[in-house]
Amino acid sequence: MGSDHSPIVLDSGEQGLSRPKYFYFENKWLLDPELMDLVIQKWQDSERRRPLDCYYVDAWHGSLAFLRQFLKGWGIQKAGEVKHLRSEILYQLEVIDSLADTVELPAQTWQKRYQLDNSLEYIYQVEESHWKQRCDLTWVLEGDSNTQIFSPIC
């Protein structure tokens, strides 16, 4: 004869299944002129933080982990800055264009408008690099299951 006890499974929902957080290098970061200096600086910072008696492979792995953590945060911060900058540039261009429709603009204002156009072109190049990488078949299949790519569009 078996037991008449039934186990009770209680799920508080506090600890869901955690997805592994993979690191993907963004090609658009290569367009940023300060990237190389930041990578060199962070690598040197990681060298100063590790113990002197650790193995070379452990030192290398620790430096990579430190750099990966930095690049993730830096990439998110940079994306926010670029988004804000794009909005600001578009607003300034709109103001200058509306002004140009009503009065004759001085040469300095036109020069500022051309500089804003160049800055906006750079931002568009960064965005193009971003979407080109995301639309790659490997990224779609293995990257983030296509959820972050097309969700905002649909």
pTM over 0.75: no
Q: Is residue 153 part of a domain?
A: no
Q: Is residue 5 part of a domain?
A: no
Sign (positive or negative) of CA dihedral 23, 120, 151, 79: positive
Q: Is residue 148 part of a domain?
A: no
pLDDT per residue as tens digits for the range 117-136: 999 999 999 998 888 888 87
Dihedral angle, C-alpha 77, 79, 83, 88, nearest 10 °: 60
- How high is the mean pLDDT of the chain? 83
Q: Is residue 8 part of a domain?
A: no
Q: Is residue 6 part of a domain?
A: no
Per the model's pLDDT, the better-predicted residue between 122 and 4 turns out to be 122
Angle of the 56-102 helix axis to the 35-49 helix axis, nearest 10: 150
User: What is the total count of domains within the chain?
Assistant: 1
> In which domain, by residue range, is 66 found?
27-143
Q: Do residues 86 and 125 touch, judged by C-beta distance below 8 A? A: no
Q: Is residue 67 part of a domain?
A: yes
How many other C-beta atoms are found inside a 10 Å radius of the C-beta of residue 46?
19
Residue 79 has pLDDT above 80, yes or no: yes
Cα–Cα dist 29/37, whole Å: 12
